């Protein structure tokens, strides 16, 4: 606002003349030569202190000066020769035109330009950008009372002006009030007895020094101190007094103040005297307008070159009281409590400028500085009226909200610059600026003079670590991390600490046992931390509680202990040495001084009965401190006998598998999940492993894997044996290569991947088909006994697969790599978010979650620009929800974006984690690219156990972009330019990975071909047909799509025909769509063209819903009445990736005993019910992945009512 302000000069020349002839026109032009010459030289004005109106003090025109010329008052202001308009809702006889000042009455005609002569041009002396300060008696001079000589008073005034000049102000504002007196000579008002006309002295001296000069004027001042009133005599007095003031002193502008008419005894007395029965409230509203219009007219008449300004309260009206008001909560407002409609006064053009007493801070709620400034800017928008802000310099350093921050004034100036609409600022106290509390004025002036950076001004002491001022910890050290103004020192307990060029700091302090106190100080702000350290060498151990293991099993034990500790564990006579290991799990505390120590012991051989090994005891020693902690009690299960277990089947969609010879809860990249429906047999007793409050239970299966107990269920069936795989087919369909195996039993299998081939080792299998020719990503499919060997066309061309059973057929669906980003399906996962900020950065509000999200947004845009279909997961949602959304999206690649942190502030670099080996190259690409973009170390691809990477259906990695604890990397990671580079680097890494894994085949999604191996050539005959519904209830006017399934899937001719036996009840289309046309019951039959196989659905049709209601009354439930039909309404299309739709079910009849609805979906991979209302009539459904599925509503208590609502999920 003040900086680089343009030199704006306006010449507004208004000529009011009647051009009758060429001679008269020539005369008029000749008469203008004087004023124009006068304008160029600076017009002289008479008064007590003569000065040209185009420049302060009569000196050379300053670069920030601005001159306005006008003929009479502004075009949109009240005319000086007209009485003030004080009309309101009810006319006031006591305030009519006869009560106007007598010296102004009747002048309209005499002063009109009807004589053909133009008015003399009027010049305003206006700063292009005001930088003003208020000079007030009692604070800036006369600070010790009025008992001073004229010479002493003059010296005080000189000192004040010199101080204003030193502060680089260009405008002084004279406060003309002092106690109950005025500080200027007046024949009617009481002048302070000082022996010196303060206003005259300041006007003359300030002009000589080059200042613009403004003065306040209280329009409520009257002789005799009669107070605020607006009768005829009062208005006459006001016009005379302010007219004489303006004429005598001729300041550049007068700020009219004291016009509000708040509710008071004096105001009511004035109403009784002058209100004339108009109503007290109407009177209160008219008084301010009458006073201001009278004052403005008088100034313009007697001192045309003086600007008339409104000195306005910050808040006109709160928005909760008037929709046109500001978003404030002020207890006092100009209109509400002061009865002054300042907004209307300004809109009506009464003033040349407005100065707003904007005394709020930038972060208070009642009248926030920026809100007030923006509101007033909106008021004057489109007008010639200038807007200035008066800032509360006297509040700096006080306890008022926002003012403890010494940079508050500078922050307000910055906010004004950002918002625009203001022509400058003034500060309400010279003495406050001179006192420079906390260097506030120094900062303000440096900013105004372009000597400091805006970002530094706004930066206060902000400590992001630790998060609390008082806490107890077991850590040996504490890290203080935060941000500051780089121009000012930061101290801890009085000692200066280093900060970087951005003001960021990280310092690590040792903690002694007991209480530790640290005080951080910066720019007048201090934070005191009280940290109590409890010495605890070992923080936690696992396993705990009671665990059951099998004989010979290798059991993992872990401890979190101080860095550098010697850690051992003992159990059953064995001593285990634990080694420090990097914790690459989701729960790792990356900026902790504790380290993860891991060891393994081997359980003794099992015997005929279960045996106890006793408890595991952990011991750790560091720096002379030793501590022990007890872990789990260990029981070795009795010797298991093969075949004694229970037959079970997999209930989970994908059951995670683990080795059987080890016991921990760590996923294993050499073990792939088993699909739902797989049948196997348990072996031995249930295994229990407890870690803290989490207990995991497992069963070993005879096929040689360990699974979670919750993923399987006893089947009561027989053990799979002598499985026959009768057929193998390979088909390609654009995005996938699918291998289908027809089997007699759903047997388990193990998967091996070596980069060039995949081997599926089927258990309990006695017979396999012949080999199959390669298609899609596979060069060949061959058998080695019961092992299926799938050779890849391209080494490394495997990017994930999903297994699932359809009947007795096992489908192995592999992703085809698109060869690049065009057509690729990529999931971007911004780490953390919601209530989880992740790692803290140096600056508040810019933590890990914020940075991850910013990079992710840019990554999404980059990927899409290169033709990829992209899903960004919802920040703050659970990891399970995020992975489920990725699966539903049928992702080919997932990148989870994270930021690193460490206790050591020098730690730096990019590292990317993977779980399955087929994602390692993706991790390597991204790590190298991002490190290059960030200009840091490439820490490379690393194997880890992070949840978001443990998915076998697609390639997924977790990228640690850089270290937030490293000030250099943090500075770059919050920078938009570097964020774009990082996003581009990740996208290029994904593109290179997909290019390197491509087998050259990526057809359209509707393309399909298949190859059979060991099976018959050609299509099969139709064996059966079935419908998705055997019974259906409908209402008249409703439609329903019946679905027919023809078996076998390999049938050559699947064409069918549809027929209704009563088309007056139900009509059916050639595609199976039903339309209910009348009440009754009908049979709808589908018949296959091949073989004439049939299936039938019985359809009952009721009347429309209006039949169930009478006169809008809700029917009462009746015992024994069942729901006969259900209708569903809601959107028929959702977006994949978690978009949610609301669906409503309506039952008939309305008086059913139990009108509740059971909700379900036909395919949980496509649709998911997220919420059901208490009355069960409203349900919320999320779309997970592309496809079509049904929302199903069923009645209770034996009701046969079932309704299916088709929902299409699109990407």
**210-232 pLDDT tens trace:** 999 999 999 998 754 455 677 88
Q: Name residue, tokens 């303000």.
A: 444
To the nearest whole percent, how much of the chain has pLDDT over 70? 85
Rounded Cα distance, 39 and 62, in Å: 15
- pLDDT per residue as tens digits for the range 10-47: 333 222 332 323 232 333 333 333 332 222 222 233 33
CB 1042 within 8 A of CB 1067: no
How much is the pLDDT for 122? 80
Bond preceding residue 1020 cis, omega within 30 of 0: no
Total count of residues recorded for the chain: 1211
How much is the pLDDT for 190? 93
Angle subtended by helix axes 848-865 and 976-997, to nearest 10:
50
Task: Tell whether the model's pLDDT for residue 350 goes beyond 80.
Answer: yes
Which one is predicted more confidently, 725 or 1051?
A: 725
Rounded Cα distance, 290 and 234, in Å: 10
Rounded Cα distance, 532 and 22, in Å: 97
Rounded Cα distance, 282 and 90, in Å: 7
- Full DSSP string of 616-630: EEEEEEETTEEEEEE
Dihedral class, residue 868 (left if φ above 0, else alpha if ψ from -120 to 50, else beta): beta
**Structure tokens belonging to residue 924:** 């390597």
- pLDDT per residue as tens digits for the range 261-277: 988 877 787 787 776 67
Dihedral class, residue 918 (left if φ above 0, else alpha if ψ from -120 to 50, else beta): alpha
How much is the pLDDT for 455? 64
Dihedral class, residue 23 (left if φ above 0, else alpha if ψ from -120 to 50, else beta): alpha
C-beta atoms surrounding 357 within 10 Å: 18
Span 158-175, average pLDDT: 97
Longest dimension (CA), the chain: 134
Closest residue by Cα to residue 420 from 366, 360, 370, 362: 370
SS (H, E, C) 233-295: HHHHHHHHHHHHHHHHHCCCEEEEECCCCCCCHHHHHHHHHHCCCCCHHHHHHHHHHHHHHHH
How much is the pLDDT for 287? 92
Rounded Cα distance, 1022 and 1090, in Å: 6
**475 burial type by CB count under 10 A (0-12 exposed, 13-18 middle, 19+ buried):** buried
SS (H, E, C) 368-388: CHHHHHHHHHHHHCCCCCEEE
How much is the pLDDT for 888? 86
- pLDDT per residue as tens digits for the range 628-648: 999 999 999 988 777 788 999
CB 97 within 8 A of CB 85: no
Sign of CA dihedral 829, 835, 836, 839: positive
Pick 1024-1103's CATH classification: 3.90.1150.10, 2.40.110.10, 2.60.120.10, 2.60.40.1080.
2.60.40.1080
- pLDDT per residue as tens digits for the range 842-862: 877 688 999 999 999 999 999
Angle subtended by helix axes 920-934 and 976-997, to nearest 10:
150
Q: Name residue, tokens 């069923």.
A: 1194
pLDDT-derived band at 78 (thresholds 50, 70, 90) equals: very low
From residue 1057, how far is each of 1072, 1089, 1090 by CA, in Å?
8, 7, 11
Span 111-125, average pLDDT: 60
Pairing assessment for the beta strands 647-650 and 712-714 based on DSSP bridges: antiparallel
Angle subtended by helix axes 198-208 and 232-249, to nearest 10:
40
At a CB cut-off of 8 Å and minimum separation 6, what does 1154 contact?
1117, 1123, 1195, 1196, 1197, 1199
Sign of CA dihedral 606, 610, 614, 617: positive
Task: Tell whether the model's pLDDT for residue 754 goes beyond 90.
Answer: yes
Q: Name residue, tokens 């196997």.
A: 680
Pairing assessment for the beta strands 674-675 and 171-174 based on DSSP bridges: unpaired
Long-range contacts of 1047-1050 (CB under 8 A, 24+ apart): 1047/1022, 1047/1023, 1048/1020, 1048/1023, 1050/1019, 1050/1020
At residue 223, the 3 state secondary structure works out as: helix
Rounded to the nearest angstrom, the gap between the alpha carbon of residue 269 and the centroid of all alpha carbons in its chain is 55
How much is the pLDDT for 862? 95
pLDDT-derived band at 955 (thresholds 50, 70, 90) equals: very high
- pLDDT per residue as tens digits for the range 1146-1162: 888 877 877 888 888 88
Task: Tell whether the model's pLDDT for residue 316 goes beyond 90.
Answer: yes
C-beta atoms surrounding 1081 within 10 Å: 12
Topology, domain 538-636: Immunoglobulin-like (2.60.40)
DSSP letter assigned to residue 737: E
**963-985 b/e (C-beta count within 10 Å ≥ 16 → b):** bbbbbbbbbbbbeeebbbbbbbb
| Same fold yes or no, 462-533 and 825-997 | no
Rounded Cα distance, 771 and 730, in Å: 11
At a CB cut-off of 8 Å and minimum separation 6, what does 418 contact?
none
C-beta atoms surrounding 1093 within 10 Å: 18
In CATH, what number does 825-997 get? 3.40.630.40
**Structure tokens belonging to residue 564:** 């550098």
CB 939 within 8 A of CB 927: yes
- pLDDT per residue as tens digits for the range 1097-1134: 888 887 754 444 333 344 556 666 888 888 898 888 88
Pairing assessment for the beta strands 1178-1183 and 1167-1172 based on DSSP bridges: antiparallel
Closest residue by Cα to residue 596 from 580, 607, 610, 611: 580
Mean pLDDT of the chain: 84
How much is the pLDDT for 224? 47
How much is the pLDDT for 184? 96
- Domain residue spans of the chain: 93-184+211-331, 462-533, 538-636, 642-719, 721-816, 825-997, 1024-1103, 1122-1210
From residue 647, how far is each of 699, 700, 748 by CA, in Å?
12, 12, 12
Topology, domain 721-816: Immunoglobulin-like (2.60.40)
CB 618 within 8 A of CB 598: no
Residue 753 has phi, psi (to 5 degrees) of: -135, 125
Dihedral class, residue 564 (left if φ above 0, else alpha if ψ from -120 to 50, else beta): left
Residue 1182 has phi, psi (to 5 degrees) of: -105, 140
How much is the pLDDT for 521? 92
Rounded to the nearest angstrom, the gap between the alpha carbon of residue 913 and the centroid of all alpha carbons in its chain is 28
CB 776 within 8 A of CB 732: yes
Check whether domain 462-533 has CATH 2.60.40.10, yes or no: yes
- pLDDT per residue as tens digits for the range 382-418: 999 999 999 999 999 888 888 877 789 998 998 898 8
At residue 943's C-alpha, the angle toward residues 938 and 946, to 5°, is 105
Closest residue by Cα to residue 507 from 523, 495, 524, 515: 495
Rounded Cα distance, 569 and 544, in Å: 13
pLDDT-derived band at 723 (thresholds 50, 70, 90) equals: very high
Beta-bridged to residue 680, according to DSSP, are 648
Rounded Cα distance, 1177 and 935, in Å: 57
Topology, domain 1122-1210: Immunoglobulin-like (2.60.40)
Rounded Cα distance, 1106 and 1150, in Å: 10
Rounded Cα distance, 618 and 599, in Å: 11
CB 463 within 8 A of CB 520: yes
To the nearest whole percent, how much of the chain has pLDDT over 90? 55
pLDDT-derived band at 457 (thresholds 50, 70, 90) equals: low
How much is the pLDDT for 227? 53
At residue 848, the 3 state secondary structure works out as: helix
Closest residue by Cα to residue 551 from 489, 637, 629: 637
């Amino acid at each position: 606002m003040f900086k680089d302000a343009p030199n704006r000069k306006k010449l507004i020349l208004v000529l009011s003349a009647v051009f009758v002839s060429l001679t008269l026109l020539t005369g008029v032009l000749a008469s203008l030569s004087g004023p124009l010459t006068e304008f160029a030289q600076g017009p002289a004005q008479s008064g007590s202190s003569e000065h040209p109106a185009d420049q302060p003090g009569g000196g050379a025109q300053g670069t920030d000066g601005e001159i306005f010329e006008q003929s009479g008052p502004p075009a949109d202001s009240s005319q000086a020769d007209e009485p003030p308009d004080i009309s309101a809702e009810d006319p006031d006889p006591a305030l009519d035109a006869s009560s106007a000042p007598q010296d102004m009455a009747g002048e309209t005609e005499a002063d009109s330009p009807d004589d053909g002569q133009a008015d003399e041009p009027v010049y305003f002396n206006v700063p292009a950008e005001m930088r003003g300060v208020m000079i007030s008696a009692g604070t800036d001079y006369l600070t010790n009372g009025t008992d001073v000589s004229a010479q002493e008073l003059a010296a005080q005034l000189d000192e004040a002006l010199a101080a204003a000049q030193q502060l680089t102000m260009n405008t002084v504002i004279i406060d003309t009030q002092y106690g109950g007196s005025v500080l200027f000579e007046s024949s009617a008002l009481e002048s302070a007895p000082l022996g010196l006309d303060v206003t005259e002295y300041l006007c003359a001296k300030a002009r000589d020094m080059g200042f613009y000069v403004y003065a306040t004027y209280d329009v409520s001042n009257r002789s005799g101190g009669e107070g605020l009133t607006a009768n005829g005599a009062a208005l006459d007095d006001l016009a005379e007094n302010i007219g004489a003031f303006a004429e005598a002193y001729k300041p550049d502008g007068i700020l009219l103040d004291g016009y509000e008419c708040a509710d008071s005894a004096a105001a009511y007395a004035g109403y009784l005297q002058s209100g004339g029965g108009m109503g007290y409230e109407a009177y209160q509203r008219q008084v301010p307008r009458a006073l201001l219009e009278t004052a403005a007219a008088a100034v313009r008449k007697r001192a045309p070159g003086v600007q008339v300004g409104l000195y306005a309260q910050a808040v006109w009206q709160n928005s909760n009281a008037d929709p046109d008001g500001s978003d404030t909560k002020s207890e006092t407002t100009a209109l509400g409590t002061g009865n002054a409609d300042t907004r209307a006064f300004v809109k009506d053009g009464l003033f040349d400028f407005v100065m707003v007493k904007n005394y709020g801070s930038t972060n208070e709620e009642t009248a926030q500085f920026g809100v007030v400034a923006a509101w007033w800017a909106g008021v004057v928008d489109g007008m010639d009226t200038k807007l200035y802000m008066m800032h509360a310099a006297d509040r700096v350093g006080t306890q008022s909200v926002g003012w403890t921050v010494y940079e508050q004034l500078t922050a307000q100036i910055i906010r004004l610059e950002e918002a625009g609409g203001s022509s400058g600022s003034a500060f309400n106290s010279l003495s406050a600026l001179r006192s420079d509390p906390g260097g506030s004025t120094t900062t303000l002036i440096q900013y105004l003079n372009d000597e400091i950076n805006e970002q530094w001004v706004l930066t206060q002491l902000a400590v992001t670590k630790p998060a609390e001022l008082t806490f107890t910890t077991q850590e040996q050290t504490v890290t203080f991390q935060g941000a500051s103004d780089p121009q000012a020192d930061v101290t801890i307990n009085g000692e200066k600490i280093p900060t970087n060029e951005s003001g960021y700091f990280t310092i690590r302090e040792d903690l002694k046992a007991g209480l530790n106190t640290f005080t951080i100080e910066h720019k007048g702000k201090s934070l005191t931390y009280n940290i109590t350290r409890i010495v605890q060498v070992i923080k936690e151990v696992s396993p705990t509680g009671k665990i059951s293991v099998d004989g010979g099993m290798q059991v993992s034990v872990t401890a979190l202990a101080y860095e550098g500790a010697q850690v051992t564990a003992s159990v059953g006579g064995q001593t285990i040495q634990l080694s420090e290991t990097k914790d690459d799990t989701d729960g790792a505390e990356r900026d902790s001084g504790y380290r993860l120590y891991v060891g393994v012991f081997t359980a003794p051989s099992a015997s005929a009965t279960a045996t106890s090994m006793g408890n595991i005891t952990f011991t750790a020693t560091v720096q002379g401190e030793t501590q022990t902690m007890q872990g789990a009690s260990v029981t070795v299960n009795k010797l298991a006998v093969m075949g004694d277990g229970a037959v079970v089947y997999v209930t989970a969609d994908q059951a995670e598998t683990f080795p059987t010879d080890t016991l921990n809860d760590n996923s294993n990249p050499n073990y792939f999940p088993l699909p739902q429906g797989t049948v196997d047999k348990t072996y031995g007793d249930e295994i229990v492993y407890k870690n803290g409050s989490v207990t995991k239970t497992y069963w070993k299966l005879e096929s040689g894997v360990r699974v979670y107990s919750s993923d399987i269920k006893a089947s009561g069936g027989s053990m799979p044996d002598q499985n026959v795989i009768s057929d193998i087919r390979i088909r390609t369909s654009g995005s996938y290569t699918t291998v289908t195996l027809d089997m007699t039993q759903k047997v388990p299998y193990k998967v091996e991947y070596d980069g060039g081939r995949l081997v599926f080792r089927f258990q309990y299998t006695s017979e396999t088909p012949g080999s199959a020719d390669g298609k899609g990503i596979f060069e060949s499919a061959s058998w080695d006994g019961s092992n299926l060997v799938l050779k890849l066309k391209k080494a490394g061309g495997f990017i994930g697969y999903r297994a699932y059973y359809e009947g007795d057929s096992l489908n192995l669906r592999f992703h085809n790599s698109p060869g690049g980003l065009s057509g690729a399906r990529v999931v971007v996962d911004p780490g953390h978010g919601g209530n989880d900020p992740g790692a803290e950065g140096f600056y508040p509000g810019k933590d890990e979650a914020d940075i991850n999200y910013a990079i992710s947004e840019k990554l999404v845009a980059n990927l899409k620009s290169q033709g990829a279909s992209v899903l960004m997961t919802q920040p703050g949602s659970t990891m399970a929800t995020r992975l489920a959304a990725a699966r539903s999206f049928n992702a080919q690649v997932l990148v989870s974006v994270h930021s690193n942190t460490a206790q050591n502030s020098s730690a730096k670099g990019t590292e990317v984690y993977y779980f399955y080996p087929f994602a390692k190259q993706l991790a390597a690409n991204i790590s190298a690219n991002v490190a290059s973009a960030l200009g840091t170390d490439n820490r490379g691809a690393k194997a880890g156990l992070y949840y978001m990477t443990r998915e076998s259906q697609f390639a997924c990695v977790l990228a640690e972009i850089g270290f937030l604890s490293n000030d250099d990397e943090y500075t770059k990671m919050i920078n938009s330019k570097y964020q774009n580079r990082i996003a581009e680097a990740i996208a290029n890494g994904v593109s290179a990975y997909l290019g390197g894994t491509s087998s050259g085949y990526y057809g359209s999604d509707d393309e399909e071909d298949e190859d059979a191996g060991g099976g018959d050539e050609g299509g099969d005959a139709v064996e059966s047909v079935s419908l998705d519904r055997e019974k259906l209830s409908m209402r008249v006017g409703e439609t329903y799509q019946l679905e027919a399934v023809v078996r076998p899937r390999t049938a050559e001719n699947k064409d069918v025909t549809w027929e209704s036996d009563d088309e007056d009840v139900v009509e059916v289309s050639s595609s199976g769509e039903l339309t209910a046309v009348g009440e009754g019951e009908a049979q709808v039959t589908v018949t296959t063209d091949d073989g004439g196989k049939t299936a039938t659905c019985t359809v009952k049709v009721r009347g429309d819903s209006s039949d169930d209601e009478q006169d809008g009354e809700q029917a009462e439930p009746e015992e024994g009445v069942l729901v006969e039909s259900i209708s569903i309404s809601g959107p028929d299309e959702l977006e994949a990736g978690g978009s949610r739709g609301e669906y409503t079910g309506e039952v008939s009849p309305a008086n059913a005993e139990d009108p509740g609805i059971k909700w379900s979906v036909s395919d949980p991979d496509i649709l998911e019910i997220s919420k059901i209302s208490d009355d069960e009539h409203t349900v919320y459904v999320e779309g997970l992945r592309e496809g079509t599925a049904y929302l199903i509503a069923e009645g209770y208590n034996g009701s046969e009512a079932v309704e299916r609502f088709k929902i299409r999920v699109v990407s």
